[in-house]
Structure 1
């Protein structure tokens, strides 16, 4: 995770090809106009994790936008360092499950059997990360959704800053795209993951107690359950957004390659900044390429994924954009629609980007069309 300064504005021309996109009228909301009553249960009880590997049906209701019921087993608790030291066996390297720029993630198990993830800030960063730590605690305490990692507790003691969250056992999306977790994700699984992330972001933007902008949507911050349901993690850079259609003034933070170029230029942060990051993420999911490829053997246009993909798209060479490890032949119209959506989200200016709510609706329609085309193909065989 890298804090991005204004100097990266120089890369705007590389990251964003110049194109204009279609926008759906935000008032056309036939699906989400329905009742938003919450159904389902906490991910910790795994009820929301029972989605088949290939799912062609649209969810029966839009209830996945609304919060999942808060588990009564353990709310956000101010824990002690002694408790965490005990369940991590004094932060044993054997229990390390992840590592980022500012900290290490450990796996722990409470006496009642509950497995948790503990994010421990590196001590050299503790002072500088105090604001991010307090921010993450404040925001995570207010949100509850099956596609967002849930806060369970925290430690703020001396020079230790630790966050205790639900344990998501199947690594992050980037690891799966790199083939580090065994089987290569098929197209249906990638589509479901994109829908899950879009649901989580829609909840943050529209249905949280206050609008929340994540500011660091990227593949390594998308965690996967055993059944490949996606959960958005790491709210250290998140902040509350505007309650109207305006923006908030904010210093630029995020990860290079995913940051909204308009936010980078103007310091005007809106929910559409997350939409841009989601567009880049969607391209990453489909191509398995990172937003910026460091392979110097490739040309500059090839090394910037959005530029490379957009050029291929304009040349009608859509299938060449897909991850070459995908064995499945996906209907051309389905590919056109999902890549078109990715480019809409990653438009250079926020006024050309759809809202996350619209993104979810379009993904649902793509999933329906994909299901129909898949069944037709199966019937021909």
Structure 2
């Protein structure tokens, strides 16, 4: 768990980095990146007064915004009751003994990944169905009980093709288990790292970005109550065999405020360094725009292939979004293309996606678009891209 002091020190450093004068440009976009480290640890900070000056750098409305698209993100017909009975959730009901059998007693060979909550395993049920089983760490079981319960209750309320589906759970004694659908093709970060062999081409990256935007739009607008994910990052995006994206890991998710006139939830800061909304860090006010900020950082990551922060690089390239904005502002947009993409990338399309990413990652939430608008703009970019490559 990263120390709050480290978070604030890095945040102040980045404020200073972005304080220098920028070139005049016809594209009024600006980004500011919160702190991050290679290991991307999770962060938790209590809401106490912190004197971090507000950024003087604001983002005016961009002239590059796409007009309202007729291809809007429709509400999903699949909704759960707001008061689900937890013992009736999902379609998989297992005892702890059955969980152990399905995971071969939590064999390391079946481990899919590890996070703040615990370890995720691939498992095969008696009927042959493949599932993912997330097991809370024993030493953190009691401390993470509220996060476990929160994730269960929130997952029970959502059903969307771009969100990982809850199938069941076990909560008995010291055992806390979440059972979800198995998404077989690993994480987005693994694919950007080339772990699975073939590099993602530009078309795949665009479709993945749209899928993520649709999933987040559902959470913000079309779930029974507004849900804020709070931990949008490349390692929490899972890919199917057909390279469709699903947003996973709702351990940090929170319900949005439902009181009339209220626009935020006052809560401790949780998330992953590198993707954290700087205004949320400064004020402890959580809104859906915090997810929009994280998505902006993620979109730059998808286009460049670089992690949000890479300590192995030179000082002017450590913070990817700062480096990317500098390149973009200097007219060196194509230097940002992930070198693993060997295809020719359309400059106008690439520039539109970067511009949208910078809008999302604006330092002040008032300057960020809504997630629904982001999804619509990405869809409009997709339409133009298909026309250019003759696939329409």
The TM-score normalised by the length of structure 1 is 0.84
Q: What secondary structure is seen at the aligned counterpart in 2 of 1:292?
A: coil
Partner of 2:23: none
Partner of 2:70: 31
CA distance in 2, matches of 1:30, 1:320: 30
Higher deviation after alignment, 282-291 or 238-247: 238-247
Partner of 1:48: none
CA distance in 1, matches of 2:306, 2:210: 19
Say if 2:359 is the partner of 1:320: no
Instruction: From 73, 76, 86, give the equivalent of 1:66.
Output: 76
CA distance in 2, matches of 1:93, 1:129: 22
Say if 2:240 is the partner of 1:225: yes
CA distance in 1, matches of 2:78, 2:2: 32
Q: Point out where structure 2 has 5 or more consecutive residues left out of the alignment.
A: 16-31, 34-56, 81-87
Partner of 1:22: 61
Partner of 1:5: 4
Check conservation: 2:69, 2:377, Cα contact below 8 A.
Answer: no
CA distance in 1, matches of 2:226, 2:345: 36
Partner of 1:150: 165
CA distance in 2, matches of 1:153, 1:173: 25
Check conservation: 2:79, 2:224, Cα contact below 8 A.
Answer: no
CA distance in 2, matches of 1:285, 1:30: 23
Alignment of 1:181-220 (within 5 A): 181-220=196-235
What is the Cα deviation at residue 322 of structure 1? 1.2
CA distance in 2, matches of 1:239, 1:6: 24
CA distance in 1, matches of 2:92, 2:184: 22
Partner of 2:314: 299
Higher deviation after alignment, 235-244 or 182-191: 235-244
CA distance in 2, matches of 1:263, 1:3: 17
CA 1:185–1:245: 2 relative to 1, 3 Å: farther
Tell me which of the two structures has the higher relative contact order, counting C-alpha pairs closer than 8 angstroms and 6 or more residues apart.
2
What is the Cα deviation at residue 11 of structure 1? 2.6
Partner of 1:133: 148
CA 1:121–1:67: 2 relative to 1, 3 Å: farther
CA distance in 2, matches of 1:237, 1:75: 21
Deviation string 1:156-214 (CA, Å, 9 cap, x unpaired) is 11111110000000000000000001100000000000000000000000000100000
CA 1:336–1:21: 2 relative to 1, 3 Å: farther
Deviation string 1:16-37 (CA, Å, 9 cap, x unpaired) is 174514258x9x755367xxxx
Give me the CA root mean square deviation: 2.5
The TM-score normalised by the length of structure 2 is 0.82
Moved over 3 A (4+): 2-7, 67-70, 76-79
Partner of 2:286: 269
What is the Cα deviation at residue 87 of structure 1? 1.2
Q: Point out where structure 1 has 5 or more consecutive residues left out of the alignment.
A: 34-61, 377-381
CA 1:269–1:260: 2 relative to 1, 3 Å: same
Q: What secondary structure is seen at the aligned counterpart in 1 of 2:150?
A: helix
What is the Cα deviation at residue 68 of structure 1? 4.8
